[in-house]
A and B are shown apart, each in its own frame.
Chain A
Amino acid sequence: MTETTRTVSLNVPVLARVEGEGALDLSLAGGEIAQLRLRIFEPPRFFEKFLEGRHYDEIPDLVARICGICPVAYQVTAAQALERLYGVELSPWARAMRRAFYCGEWIQSHSLHIHLLAAPDFFGCGSAIELAKIAPDAVRRGLRLQGLGNALMDLFGARSVHPVGVRIGGFHAAPPAAKVRALRERLVAALPEAEALIRWAAAIPLPPDDQDFISVAMRHADRYAIEQGDIAASDGLSIGADAYDAHFAERHAPHSTALYSDYRGRPYLVGPLARLNLNPDRLPERLRALLAEIGFAPPSRNMFHSLLARAAEIWLALDEAARLLAGYRVPDSPWTPVEPRAGVATGCTEAPRGLLWHRYEMDAAGRVVNARIVPPTSQNQARIEEDLRLSLLNFGLDRPDDALRLHCEKVIRNYDPCISCATHFLRLNVARA
């Protein structure tokens, strides 16, 4: 059998260095890809079902449990959706602190992904622990940034995994000014570290892998969209959260416990690179200049730029949080009182891995009638499979099995898939064949 006609069956039963557990099946026959599937098999956890009947003030603590890495995204998205339904105007303090809190999660999650999950691939290492032996300063810098992200989440939530500070209407408590000042100094002091990280990430040689894809991300009138903004796509779409359903469709494939999402019948990208692609004009001037200096000019069609995009967003989140915490004062009340009413609450935010959308139908007593949550990883799932096909063809199917497998894993890790998230959100009332 010649190289071009060989039959290869690659099976990676558990993907390393992704959040949650998924697998990859690839078979090649006659020089073509016969089958390629990202298999997500984590058992469903039925969050949408057991949210039914719960009172609105229980929701932030429950939805946090969908994901230990991005609990803030779930808490803030749910809170904002409900606040919109209940007609609550958050105080300027609470609005600013929600955004600062969310920055903490971006810093933590992106630092974890770059250093512990993605970077080892590019240095021939199997783990960050190995990478620390050849690039100790870079790994330690990454762990320090991750720790700082955690500290920012702690500031408002008392802990960084399943923080306990968010309530509908604001926060349960306001951190004392002295603590905020001390943390802000650390944020400012970390900006040069983040700059060094960007330069380090930019120096990693990347495979050229241009592909045509649609980016979907939030966009805000005057700042980089994190927790506020409309949903935009690279083809010009611009809609509010309540119109999401009219443009994006989910479907279930039997090999996956996560649902796939399509936009106009096509896969699409969400996450840091999609955000940068749609919002280069919303970056702070200093960051724009730094990216120009290193020769990175989004929009980019190469998914391997996603590691650099994460590094850029770490800088952005540090800078933004430092700005928001400048001149901090303890408010009269950290929350605004809430009066429940019946109706449908929708909301979205930019989780570290991309657009996160929630919809709750609520009764007049403030209880959930039904819930639907679309996490970023299930939106990316179809795009990951499409990318793997194109990327493998660019890479060359005649490479040895190990090289093919490593390439596939690198491609998958570009998306920072969170399989725990993806399997926890399952659409209600899917039409059955």
Chain B
Amino acid sequence: MDGARKPRVAVHKFSSCDGCQLALLNLGETLLTLADRVEFVHFAEAGPMDPEAEVDVAFVEGSLSTPEDLERIRRIRARSRVLVAIGACAVAGGVQALRNAADGAAWVAQLYAHPEAIDSLAQSLPLAGAVKIDHELHGCPVDGAQMVAALGALLLGAPPRPESDKVCVECKRQGHPCVMVSRGIPCLGPVTRAGCGALCPGLGRDCYGCYGPAENANTDALAARFRALGLDAAAVARRFGAINSQAPAFLAAARKAGAA
């Protein structure tokens, strides 16, 4: 990046709850500092509006669910040097990907008086379903510190360092008692990617997998443990099929549990 001009950053949104952009909008004073160091050329919720601009880094929130979405993400890809998918919707289709298992057209017909006016793909797709992604930030939602660290690394020319630990490791580090061992609560911590700070076990409750599957997640062993704790097959399938239902490891685990 040439030193004379500020790095250009865009924040785009597809189908989502807006919660990942909030990681930036909730930064407080840091947001103003950031705005001094980079130029937000497109960030509709914050004001700047130039969706077609060429940028150094594009952060993209949300999943793809209409034919126009596919067209728009391709244009964004063509104009962005680095494209970062932020959050569970962009990375894995999000909670709305639960519709992928259902008959979307029938749902539209049940919900709308004018179903012909609703243009919807059969599936809620992650960005990688349509374009090449350079980096992924996991979480539902992503966290502000995670966003700033990623942007900082990218501006220095380094890739953001992905979390490879599991929530279990984070939980031990923080010294929380294990909710599954000590209280028999079915927790997804053993198969979920770290990054949140083990928030749920910190409150004495189960992790529900909002950061998606960790690498080498042993979902078979965990599913067996859930059954031993008294969950029926459908309940095990629902545990894996929630916020990150289309992440391959969770999808396979939910199918296997449901078929059992």
Contacts and interface: CB of A to CB of B under 8 A. Distances in A.
Interface of A: 14-21, 42-50, 53-55, 58, 61-62, 65-69, 71, 108, 112, 116-117, 120, 125-130, 132, 139-140, 143-144, 146-147, 150, 158-162, 164-165, 167, 172-173, 251-255, 257, 418, 420, 424, 426-433
Contacts of B15: 42-43, 45
B205 interface: yes
Interface in B191-225: 196, 199-200, 202-205, 208, 210
Contact of A164 (B48, B107, B205): B205
B111 A43 contact: no
B32 A14 contact: no
B31 A17 contact: no
A302 to B, nearest CB: 25
B243 interface: yes
B47 A146 contact: no
Given A43-B69, A43-B120, A128-B46, A172 B205 contact: yes
Among A53, A167, A255, A420, the most chain B Cβ lie within 10 Å of the Cβ of: A420
A49 B107 contact: yes
Interface stretch (B92-100, B153-161, B249-257): B92-100
Given A62-B95, A127-B46, A172-B204, A43 B66 contact: yes
A145 to B, nearest CB: 10
Contact of B238 (A43, A54, A117, A420): A54
Nearest to A165: B203
A61 B239 CA distance: 12
Nearest to B196: A159
Contact of B28 (A62, A143, A167, A420): A143
22 contacts: A17-B45, A19-B18, A44-B108, A47-B95, A49-B107, A53-B238, A55-B238, A65-B140, A68-B21, A129-B47, A130-B47, A143-B28, A147-B26, A159-B141, A161-B141, A162-B140, A162-B210, A165-B203, A172-B203, A257-B118, A424-B17, A433-B113
Among A46, A132, A251, the most chain B Cβ lie within 10 Å of the Cβ of: A46
A165 B112 CA distance: 34
Given A45-B15, A53-B238, 4 more contacts: A14-B49, A16-B44, A68-B18, A251-B113
B47 A17 contact: yes
Interface in B14-54: 15-23, 25-26, 28-29, 31-32, 35, 40, 44-49, 51
A358 to B, nearest CB: 16
Contacts of B104: 46
Contacts of B26: 108, 112, 146-147, 150, 160-161
Contacts of A147: 26, 28
A162 B107 CA distance: 26
B242 A68 contact: no
Contact of B111 (A112, A120, A172, A430): A430
B113 A68 contact: no
A418 B22 CA distance: 13
B147 to A, nearest CB: 12
A59 to B, nearest CB: 11
Contacts of A139: 32
Interface string B51-74: 100000000000001100100000
B44 A161 contact: no
A67 B235 contact: no
Nearest to A63: B95
B193 to A, nearest CB: 16
B99 A46 contact: yes
B48 A66 contact: no
B205 to A, nearest CB: 4
B25 A129 contact: no
A252 B112 contact: yes
Nearest to B46: A127
Nearest to A167: B205
A58 B242 contact: yes
A125 B47 CA distance: 9
Given A46-B107, A65-B17, A164 B203 contact: yes
Contacts of B102: 49-50
Among B23, B40, B243, the most chain A Cβ lie within 10 Å of the Cβ of: B243
B13 interface: yes
Contacts of A66: 17
A162 B19 contact: yes
Contacts of A167: 205
Contacts of B17: 65-68, 71, 420, 424
B182 interface: no
Contacts of B199: 158-159, 164
A127 B109 CA distance: 40
A429 B110 contact: yes
Given A65-B243, A129-B32, A251-B113, A20 B18 contact: yes
Nearest to B235: A55
B136 interface: no
A430 B112 contact: yes
A54 B51 CA distance: 38
A422 B35 CA distance: 30
A428 to B, nearest CB: 6
Interface string B174-200: 000000000000000000000010011
Given A143-B31, A254-B117, A159 B47 contact: no
Contacts of A16: 44-45, 47-49
B141 to A, nearest CB: 4
The 3 closest A-B pairs by CB, nearest first: A68-B19, A127-B47, A254-B117
B114 interface: yes
Contacts of A14: 44, 49, 51
A46 B105 CA distance: 11
A116 B202 contact: no
Contacts of A165: 203
